[in-house]
Chains A and B, each alone.
Chain A
Amino acid sequence: MTVQLFINARLIDPEARTDQPGMLLVSNGAIAAPPESAETPAAIANALKLPPGTLEVIDCNGKCLAPGIVDIGVKVCEPGERHKESYRSAGLAAAAGGVTTMVTRPDTVPAIDSPETLEFVTRRANAAAPVNVLPMASLTKGRAGREMTEISFLMDAGAVAFTDCDHVVQNTKVFARALTYARALGALVIAHPQEPILSDGACATSGKFASLRGLPAVSPMAERMGLDRDIALLEMTGARYHADQITTARALPALQRAKRNGLDITAGVSIHHLTLNDLDVADYRTFFKVKPPLRAEDDRIAVIEALRDGLIDIISSMHTPQDEESKRLPFEEAASGAVALETLLPAAMRLFHAGQVDMPTLFAALSLNPAKRLGLPCGRLAPGAPADLVLFDPDVPFVLDRTTLRSKSRNTPFDGARMQGRVIATYVAGAPVFRRD
């Protein structure tokens, strides 16, 4: 029996909504309830009748100990583009970023749309990544929006959710049937709310900046139109639905109404849309090209408020590795996406340090809510939960140097940025998978 005791910790418990000093007992990789009235390591060892010297005591030195991040929507470029990111490199990056569960995207080449591909991925992932990997599968074959995938077989093979990622299923009949079919199986469908024709060809959000730079732009309204359609389909089908990224103020009232009406809907946002705005693109910096495009500052603030109020449930990295070649192009031609596994936590700390969101709320969005949405036991500090933990110093300042990132691709918008907050150690089922020297 392995028993660990984290002492002198600042425990962030998103479930209890607390942020207070304390200690945490871990037994055989799971969080355990401390014995009654035992308050010192010695007393605990005694109460548990442990042989002397077998209680591993970890002194947290007053730093934060929180449930490890459950990141929905990580792109690992296997199969197809392993030179951009492999399960090994993504797993190391995740561990260094405090992400203990990567929920991976199926927008690979080819798409993960059959049980066979999914099994390949699961095998690779378990062999190579030091953190938990849970795969998603595509909702339609080849993400082409025409025929639904074998949802039941894919669930048996371990798919935790179904999504065509940034491809919107344009054919409403196909989408309605897929939602109906998924509902009967209890499968979670994740969609990218966007009016596909309005946003076709756009690489910026319409507004003063896009006009000045002469970039093809899409109205932020395209997101609300996409969400409105999906909400109507949810009313029709009753499916379990998660909007991958809600990034505009105009979409929020629709989301609120849908939740109030009792639909089974949750919403996420990427860390980039919470911490950057369209002006950051500046002189056509392609590392800031993401999908949907970065929004105006008013939208960013509105989305932070929605996060604080619990209207937006989940923060994810939307980790999207792209090699230098696909980014060193004119802005319109350059690939979209940014890596973020390692910068997710420090970037999230910006919201904390700005006084916008408190720690328990942040970790509800980073860990607890995504775990709950996927029906996972992790993401909490309750006894019985797996000891997937992140120990971090929220205050330590540093300047990000992208060459130090563990991802194979280093397309981060935070290169050279001043950040505050860094992971000290990461534990998966009690086993250390990362420790900063």
Chain B
Amino acid sequence: MSFLHRHLLGIEQLGPQDITTILDLAEDYVTLNRQSAKHSDVLAGLTQINMFFENSTRTQASFEIAGKRLGADVMNMAMQASSIKKGETLIDTALTLNAMHPDLLVVRHPQSGAVDLLAQKVNCAVLNAGDGRHEHPTQALLDALTIRRAKGRLHRLTVAICGDIAHSRVARSNILLLGKMENRIRLIGPPTLMPSQIEQFGVEVFDDMHAGLADADVVMMLRLQRERMDGGFIPSEREYYHRFGLDLEKLALAKPDAIVMHPGPMNRGVEIDGTLADDINRSVIQDQVEMGVAVRMAAMELLARNLLSSRPDAA
């Protein structure tokens, strides 16, 4: 098992072997998490700080549980309410925290590249929990694990990613990961929500769900942010749902065994039909949440190993 990275900043830096290593280890944690005694001590004695400069309930909870199950001391910092408001720069915040000797730093920030910047200034391992519109690597990894378990493989699949691609870090990380694992990627959404020259990433672009969903193995829906709904990028919620919302009729165009994914939180009736989201035969949305904890445990274990072996007091 080799995983030679100091941080997990994005999928861009990972190779197919790195991705497989994380997913394989995560399988063990899926098993562990389903037992009554869920505790491991691979991070015992280590300090994990979750720094969220942007609101998050799900991702933060997932990282917190992952750290606690591995025996780390976990601290959550709601950065929106803290010194940032007093005018402290990101780098000063990082240096201050660094002086407290954390071992793992989980960071979410509203600006692209902010986590990379922070990682340059600290001695610990940094996990990107989402930076602006750039990357959200653990989300792509948990999606990959969910797909691999549902489909039995993570290559040569047709994956349709639908919705607000332009503002989505989830989409970027997934495009990179699924591309590295040699899948066929289709992006479906209104052209106003499509990043410029995205076709150069080796993906097919559609603005029609019917064409884009044909024979897909995986249908990945993205959340449409409320602030994009009114007139700016799309005319209205209802027109969006009509054209790009996933319902049974549109899903019928995909393969009969196609799975439906969503990174959450969902807007029922905007991008996805509520009944469909709850259909346990098609939707793997709850599995994604479960895989999230396992993948984060795996990623943190691998980074912690590298961190400890790089320290002078390594046994």
**A: which residues have CB within 8 A of B?**
206-208, 210-215, 217, 219, 283-284, 325, 328-333
Q: Is the CB of B197 within 8 A of A208?
A: yes
Question: Which of B90, B195, B198 has its CB near the most chain A CB atoms (within 10 A)?
Answer: B195
Is B111 touching A330 in the complex (CB atoms < 8 A)? yes
Q: Which of A206, A210, A284 contacts B117 (CB 8 A)?
A: A284
8 contacts between A and B (CB under 8 A): A211-B195, A211-B201, A212-B201, A213-B113, A214-B132, A215-B113, A284-B113, A330-B113
Q: How large is the interface on B (under 10, 10 to 19, 20 to 34, 35 or more residues)?
A: 20 to 34
Tell which of A208, A212, A325 touches B89, judged by Cβ atoms closer than 8 Å: A325
A283 and B117 CA atoms in complex are apart in Å by 9
B114 at the A/B interface (Cβ < 8 Å)? yes
B196 engages A330 (CB within 8 Å) = no
A214 x B133 contact (CB < 8 A)? yes
Residues from chain B with Cβ under 8 Å of A207 in the complex: 196-197
Q: Given A210-B196, A330-B90, 18 more contacts at CB 8 Å? A: A207-B197, A211-B198, A213-B112, A213-B113, A214-B113, A214-B134, A215-B113, A217-B196, A284-B112, A284-B113, A328-B89, A329-B90, A329-B117, A330-B109, A330-B111, A330-B113, A330-B114, A330-B132
* Residue contact B89 to A329, C-beta cutoff 8 Å: yes
Query: Which residues of chain B from 113 to 145 have a CB within 8 Å of any chain A CB?
Result: 113-114, 116-117, 131-135
Tell me, yes or no, whether B169 is within 8 Å of chain A by CB. Answer: yes
Is the beta-carbon distance between A213 and B90 smaller than 8 angstroms? no
Partner of B197, one of A211, A283, A331: A211
Residues of A within 8 A of B90 (CB): 329-330
**With A214-B169, A325-B89 in contact, do A330 and B197 touch (Cβ < 8 Å)?**
no
Residues of A with C-beta under 8 A to B200 = 208
B132 pairs with A332, CB closer than 8 A: yes
* CB atoms of A211 and B117 under 8 A apart: no
A-B pairs with the 8 shortest C-beta distances? A214-B133, A284-B113, A214-B134, A211-B195, A330-B114, A214-B112, A206-B196, A330-B111
Docked CA distance A214–B167 (Å):
8
Chain A CB within 8 A of B91 CB: yes
What's the nearest-Cβ distance from chain B to residue A284, in Å? Answer: 3
Bound Cα distance A137, B194 (Å):
42
Q: Is B68 an interface residue (CB 8 A)?
A: no
Option from A208, A211, A217, A331 in Cβ contact (under 8 Å) with B111:
A331
User: Do A283 and B113 have beta carbons less than 8 Å apart?
Assistant: yes
B83-99 residues with Cβ-Cβ distance < 8 A to A are 89-91
Contact of B262 with A by CB under 8 A: no
B296 at the interface (CB under 8 A from A): no
In the complex, which residues of chain B have a beta carbon less than 8 angstroms from the beta carbon of A219? 196
Cβ contacts under 8 Å, B113 to chain A: 213-215, 283-284, 330-332
Q: B154-189, CB under 8 A of A: which get 1 and which 0?
A: 000000000000000100100000000000000000
Taking a contact as CB atoms closer than 8 A, the residue among B89, B91, B172, B197 that contacts A214 in the complex is: B172
Contact of A283 among B116, B169, B195, B198 (CB under 8 A): B116
- In the assembled complex, the Cα of A283 lies from the Cα of B116 at a distance in Å of 8
Q: Report A-chain residues with C-beta under 8 Å of the C-beta of B132.
A: 214-215, 330, 332
B133 / chain A contacts, CB cutoff of 8 Å: 214-215
Q: A208 with B201: in contact, given A219-B196, A283-B116, A330-B113 (CB under 8 Å)?
A: yes
| Nearest CB on B from A207, distance (A) | 5
Closest CB in chain B relative to A282 CB, distance in Å: 10
A382 CB to nearest chain B CB (Å): 49
Task: Report the Cα distance A208→B176, complex, angstroms.
Answer: 13
A172 to B65, CA, bound (A): 58
Contact indicator A331/B89 (Cβ below 8 Å): no
The chain A residue with its CB closest to the CB of B200 is: A208
- Chain B residue with Cβ nearest A328: B91
Whether the pair B116, A333 counts as a contact (CB closer than 8 A) is no
In contact, A333 and B111 (Cβ under 8 angstroms): yes
List B contacts of A208 (CB < 8 A). 196-198, 200-201
